[in-house]
Structures are given as structure tokens and as C-alpha cells.
Structure 1
């Protein structure tokens, strides 16, 4: 089974890892300048670096769908290609498309892109633009697969980690070029400058481990999430897929198996 995943950030990468470990072939698409914060657990880094590893699984940047197919045929690595429109599905003809861009809206995913189309987070309706939607909101329904309806609406409030929510997130103070001061994994103190945007400081709002940071040189807009401080302070979490990522990935796997079984049995309802 071949799955193409739209997006290669940390949640998309958690999904890719789970599908890859379950024996599926996985290809991923990204934009040319990824805005990933949790870069140490994101295959999007392959776009910038040419290759990267997450929990022992390697991803490599490829130029086009043909090169992606060659990497898939070798059966070891996950190909990542710059393809925001996901045009590669025409050539790769995947069994599954997963929209894990997390744009909070649909940016072009259609239910006819593959036999099984799964969308992650708000902005989609199962039975309309996809076959299943997986919940991304932290709480009792995190990771739940919906076969009708939509995920919970975006609240713009981050979930609680270590008793903190919005304070964890670092945001760009203005439009401009992002410049890193501290590397991911560093211990930072409340009030410490961890980066700059066009000379304006990005300041940690609490003490903990710097769990994520946008890459140096990326052009950001005012208010964009550009970093994440983990108040638990354990830097080892910076290289491990998060509990949220694992939950969402489990929901995606369930949805793929559920919809594939329905197709095999000829029981999928047409809406």
C-alpha cells in the first residue's frame, strides 16, 4: 500500500513513521521553505538539508515523482518532494492520500485523489472532501477518526503541556527574516532571548527546554508561531515524536484500515 502525505511537519512525520513501520510505502510533499517548528522530529528537514532522520527512519529530498518512485522501489527511505499542489498523485497513483498540512482549512485536497483520503484536523468534512477526518485537538477526542462530520473547530489556543498553554509558544514580533540564537534542545529561562526577527527579539515566556524553532533565514510574518518551549525541561523529548503525534497517527492508521476494509467488502456508502 502506498500513501502520499501532504505536509512533512512533526504531526505529518509522526503519521509517516507509523505507516512506514506498519509496512506501507510512504511519500511526502512539502513547500519550498517549510515553516516547521519541531524540526528535530520532522521529515520536512529533508527539503532544507537533502536528507534527515526521525527516530531512526531516513527521509531524502527528491526532485520529482519519478525519483520518488525509485526511492520507494528501494524500500528503505521516505521520499520528500517539493510539491505544494500534490501533483505527484497523478504519476504515483497512491492507495491513500493523507492531508496533514494542518492549515486549519482545505488547500486543495479532494476525495477523488485516491481510493482512501484521510484529512487531519479542522477544515474538512468526512464524506465531502475526504473519507475520514482525524481529530487534532488535545483532549478526550484527540486522535479519534470521524467517518461523518468534521473535527473540532480551531480555537487558536495551544493545548496544555506541563500546565502551560499559550505561554509555550514563541511568535514572531514582526515581519522579517528569522535568526536563531539558541539551538533546539537548549535549556532556556523565562525572559531569555532565543531568536531575532529583523533585529527584534523573540523572548521565552517560561523556563524549559527549547523544543522547536523555525530554521535560520526563513521569512516569517508577525504573529507566526516560530518556536516552542517545553516546561517539563526534558531535552530528550526534542528528538521523540510527541504524544499528540502518536495519537493522531493512530487515528490515521485506523481510518486507512477502516476505509480499505470497506472498499474491499464493497460496503463504503456513497454520499
Structure 2
């Protein structure tokens, strides 16, 4: 069988979304030598903030596992991207609706917003399009879909059809599912009393929403907590507790789920012969 010719690219890989799962994808692509640009909304609501590049929207930069993400502006986007890449950083641009996608002419677009629905991506925006999780149909609105549901098919590439529908039930950690996720008991601004990585006991007040206390639903370590001062609505996911108190270090590292999904995205790029630029590929050979 005749081998396909490898298509090295110095064009960007554009990832929509900078939450913790999207960050796992971006981190792996960056470490693999790809030039990645993140598009994020102007007020992201990440829970696992220590492992979410979207925090750069607020702080200007965000660092996850030794990789720095830097917020850029709409002024000469390509020049700013090249500067970030030359410094070994990942640029992030606030662009909620993806208005800059077509003009940037990326080699591939990865929709990692994980909104459980398609927020405006179509197959014609780039030579290769990938959607993460439910809300996309492979072969229709995107070329490929990556399964995001925990289980046997997590990270699997779907070439035709859709990912499993959202159940609304969090995956089990140490046998605990929905009890570990905390939703806001009221509408208002967050006032955090505890911080990510703090050990808490069940029913301990970890935050306030206006005048309403937010209590820990189980004992464990706070793995995720929405940003202090963030305006939340009643029922919004605002915190996540890991019952495994000894796993405190996990608050600062990319999850197994994110890495598995990232592996599926990387496999799509490689199988479609979208390879990192030759200069980067050579430089990373000895990692």
C-alpha cells in the first residue's frame, strides 16, 4: 500500500473553549508541537480553575503544568500569536461567537466548549473540524466527534453519528457521583470562604451566594470552586468536592478524563495527516 504524504503545517490549530477538559486538549497539542490558539468567551465560569487556561481572561496569564497561556487582543492577532508561540506560550483570544475563525484560516478547529450543543461551528470553517461530546454529528456539522462520557468509549473517535447524550449525572469518584457536585442554592455573587485544595467536612460552609450559605455536600478536598465574585444563577454548578482527601495534588494537574479526550483529538490530527511544523517536530524529537 502506498503511504500517504505527510502534511506538515505551521498553520494554527484553533480550539474553542479553555475549561479544564479543553485545557487538557490544548496542553497535549502544544506539547506535541502544534501552534494552538484558544478562543474563549469574555466571562468563563470554570470550576477547576487551577487547570483551566481560560483563567487568562481574568488574570492575563494562566499556567497549567508548566505551560503558560497568555491573553492577546484583537489588534494584529497573527503577530501576537507568533510572538507567544516563539516564547513557548499559548495565546488566548476572547471571541465568544467565533467571529475571527474564518479570517484566521486555521488548519483545524476543535470545538471544546462542551456546551452539550453546537454553538456555531460548521464543517466549512476549516479543512478539519472536531467536536467534543454531545451536540455534534460527525459527517454533518463536524468531521469527527470525540466521546466525552466516562466509560469504555471515553476518548473514542466517532466518524459517523454523535456522542452519547448528556445524562446530567457526574461520573463516579470513589463511588460518589452527584453528591460531589455543588449547585448554587440562590442567585447572586459568589463570596468564597474556602479555596481550591482545602479539606472540608460535610455541611461546612465553603462560600456564600449573596446572603445564602453554600455547604459542602460531602467531606473531602475542594477540587473545583468558581471564581470569587462571579455572578451565578440558582442551580448553576459552582463547586466540586473529591472525596479522596489524600488526592489533594490532583487539584493542580490535568485529569485522566481530559488526557484521554486529548488523546482522541491528537489521533484525529495525526490520522488526517495534520502534523506539526517540521521545525517544531525536529525540536521535540528528544523530549
TM-score by length of 2: 0.88
1:40-92 per-residue CA deviation (whole Å, 9 max, x = no partner) reads 00000100100010000000111126245423344211111110111222232
In the alignment, structure 1 residue 259 sits paired with structure 2 residue 272: yes
Partner of 1:223: 235
Unaligned runs of at least 5 residues, structure 1: 262-271
With 58-67 and 248-257 compared, the bigger mean Cα shift is at 58-67
Equivalents in 2 of 1:191, 1:74: separation in Å?
A: 44
In the alignment, structure 1 residue 23 sits paired with structure 2 residue 33: yes
Partner of 2:248: 235
With 19-28 and 189-198 compared, the bigger mean Cα shift is at 189-198
Instruction: Say if 1:111 and 1:130, in contact at 8 Å, map to a contact too.
Output: yes
Matches within 5 A, 1:96-135: 96-135=108-147
Partner of 1:269: none
Aligned residue for 2:91, secondary structure, equals strand
- Cα gap change, 1:111 to 1:179, in 2 (>3 Å): same
Unaligned runs of at least 5 residues, structure 2: 1-8, 275-287
Instruction: Say if 1:131 and 1:259, in contact at 8 Å, map to a contact too.
Output: no
Aligned residue for 2:58, secondary structure, equals helix
- Cα gap change, 1:74 to 1:81, in 2 (>3 Å): closer
Equivalents in 2 of 1:151, 1:69: separation in Å?
A: 37
Q: Which has the higher contact order (CA 8 A, sep 6+)?
A: 2
Q: Where has structure 1 moved over 6 Å in runs of 4 or more?
A: none
Instruction: Say if 2:70 and 2:84, in contact at 8 Å, map to a contact too.
Output: no
With 210-219 and 88-97 compared, the bigger mean Cα shift is at 88-97
Partner of 2:43: 33
Matches within 5 A, 1:130-169: 130-169=142-181
The count of corresponding residues between Structure 1 and Structure 2 is 261
In the alignment, structure 1 residue 248 sits paired with structure 2 residue 274: no
In the alignment, structure 1 residue 199 sits paired with structure 2 residue 208: no
1:113-153 per-residue CA deviation (whole Å, 9 max, x = no partner) reads 11110000000000001010001101111111101110000
Instruction: Say if 1:210 and 1:230, in contact at 8 Å, map to a contact too.
Output: yes
Alignment RMSD (CA, Å): 1.3
Instruction: Say if 1:46 and 1:80, in contact at 8 Å, map to a contact too.
Output: yes
Equivalents in 1 of 2:154, 2:101: separation in Å?
A: 28
TM-score by length of 1: 0.93
